[in-house]
Amino acid sequence: MNNFIQFGEKVAGYDIPVLNEREIRASAGILFLATYTSLMFILFDGNFIPIKYVITIFLADLLIRVLINPRFSPSLIIGRLMVRKQTPEYVGAPQKRFAWSIGIVLSATMFYFFLIENAYSPITGSICLVCLLFLFFEAAFGICLGCLAYPLFFRNKVQHCPGEVCDTNSRQAIQKISATQLAVLALFIAYLFLAPRFLNEQFSKPPHDLFKSSKSR
């Protein structure tokens, strides 16, 4: 029973329970895709049915993680299957539990509004955007935004962060950003703002069938 209900795994060399960050990022990507797709149904079709299913699954998944065991979370199981051939990257379980508890609060609020009240508002829209932001940062960058707030509520030192960002104060040479790289980034951002002004007319032209002869057009 103790092995069934627990949070985190005991791994040799780690003094606290840990989780596999690779599985977590894979799971976040899956949940992000499901949430984003359901929001597209709302925006383009006014269809709220997919988001109701996603919220129900999202909340149940997080409750299993926090209250029972992350090993039995459906999305984490899928994530484990997807990355099972990759070397695990261990992260501390305590801060993840805190972050997922925030997710429970957000998804439970969405469940109340969408499933019980059957209503939407700027509140539900804002919470959806926050959830998407959390999931995207986790999946794309390996940054747990909820974990960043952990030290504000707990005195325990955060251990074993993704990429060891909580332990490493100095960056390696490959991580440093040069002035040239910053200049390239600035030019690219300028291009993003200027491109619509100079290229909008060309981009606005509807495309034609490549295999349709010019005479029939």
Quick one: what percent of the chain has pLDDT higher than 70?
A: 93
Residue 160: its pLDDT value, please? 79
Are 124 and 48 in contact, with CB atoms under 8 Å apart? no
Give pLDDT tens digits for 90-123.
Answer: 999 999 999 999 999 999 999 999 999 999 999 9
6 or 189: which leads in pLDDT: 189
Q: What is the pLDDT of residue 215?
A: 56
3-state SS, residue 49: helix
Q: Residues near 98 by Cβ (< 8 Å), separated by ≥ 6? A: 146, 147, 149, 150, 153, 154
Cut 0.75: pTM above it:
yes
Q: Around Cβ 60, how many Cβ atoms within 10 Å?
A: 14
pLDDT at 190 over 80: yes
**Class of residue 186 by CB neighbours under 10 A (exposed 0-12, middle 13-18, buried 19+):** exposed
Supply the pLDDT for residue 168: 59
> What phi and psi values does residue 117 have, to the nearest 5 degrees?
-80, -20
Angle subtended at Cα 107 by Cα 103 and Cα 113, rounded to the nearest 5 degrees? 155
The pLDDT confidence band at residue 188, using thresholds 50, 70 and 90, is very high
Query: pLDDT-based confidence at 213, cuts 50/70/90?
Result: low
Residue 181 above 70 pLDDT?
Answer: yes
Give residue limits of the domains in the chain. Answer: 18-164, 176-203
Burial environment of residue 109 by CB neighbours within 10 A (0 to 12, 13 to 18, 19 or more): middle
| Each residue's pLDDT tens digit, 132-149 | 999 999 999 999 998 888
